[in-house]
């Protein structure tokens, strides 16, 4: 029976220790940062796990590639200093990408719908239309368009659709910004 009480006492002290740590603002802030980036953390852990599980295969493959390069191009000498400098540049670039991915701004962007496939596709279509229009307009002289010409253009179904789109977008955007 005393063994059971000893185990219970140990569990209670561990619970108290955990509770004390959770009351520490720095610990709570760190846990919140982890929870805010839990998707990224899960992806990173999965990628790292896959990398580590395949570590032997990756090292063997790299060794084989280096050996093949060495044997296939005997006139080319491997410059270790240059290779190391390139590796350091890659690490610096990877650190920069990682800092962007871990930033609050990137988290906000990823939650905002900007990366939604439909949004990306729509922005791509707008970009293509912008490029095509610019290329066409750049090659030709602008036609004079007076007030009545403008009124006539407003009857064009494509122009009406685009103007209605802009008006509806303006209303929705205003509601979002002023909410």
Q: Is residue 84 part of a domain?
A: no
Cα(86)–Cα(49) distance, integer angstroms: 26
pLDDT class of 75 with cuts at 50, 70, 90: low
Structural domain for 161, as ranges: 144-179
The share of the chain scoring above pLDDT 90, in percent, equals 8
Q: Is the pLDDT of residue 53 over 80?
A: no
Cα(100)–Cα(109) distance, integer angstroms: 11
Q: Is residue 167 part of a domain?
A: yes
Question: How many angstroms separate the first and last alpha carbons of the chain?
Answer: 63
Cα(153)–Cα(144) distance, integer angstroms: 12
Torsion of CA 129, 133, 134, 140, to 10 degrees: 170
pLDDT class of 164 with cuts at 50, 70, 90: very high
Q: What is the pTM of this model?
A: 0.40
Q: Is residue 158 part of a domain?
A: yes
Q: Is residue 93 part of a domain?
A: no
Q: Is residue 67 part of a domain?
A: no
Q: Is residue 17 part of a domain?
A: no
What pLDDT sits at residue 27? Answer: 82
Q: How many domains does the chain have?
A: 1
- Average per-residue pLDDT for the chain: 82
């Amino acid at each position: 029976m005393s063994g059971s009480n000893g185990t219970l006492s140990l569990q209670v002290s561990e619970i108290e220790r955990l509770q004390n740590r959770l009351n520490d603002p720095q610990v709570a802030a760190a846990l919140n940062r982890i929870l805010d980036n839990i998707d990224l953390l899960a992806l990173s852990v999965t990628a790292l796990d896959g990398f580590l599980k395949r570590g032997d295969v990756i090292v063997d493959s790299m060794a084989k590639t280096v050996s093949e390069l060495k044997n296939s191009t005997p006139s080319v000498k491997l410059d270790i200093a240059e290779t190391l400098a390139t590796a350091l540049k890659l690490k610096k670039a990877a650190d920069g990408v990682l800092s962007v991915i871990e930033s609050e701004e990137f988290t906000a962007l990823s939650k905002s719908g900007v990366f939604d496939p439909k949004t990306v596709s729509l922005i791509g279509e707008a970009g293509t239309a912008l490029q095509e229009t610019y290329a066409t307009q750049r090659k030709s002289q602008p036609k004079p368009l007076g007030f009545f010409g403008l009124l006539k253009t407003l009857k064009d179904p494509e122009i009406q659709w685009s103007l209605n789109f802009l008006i509806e977008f303006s209303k929705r955007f205003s509601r979002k910004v002023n909410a």
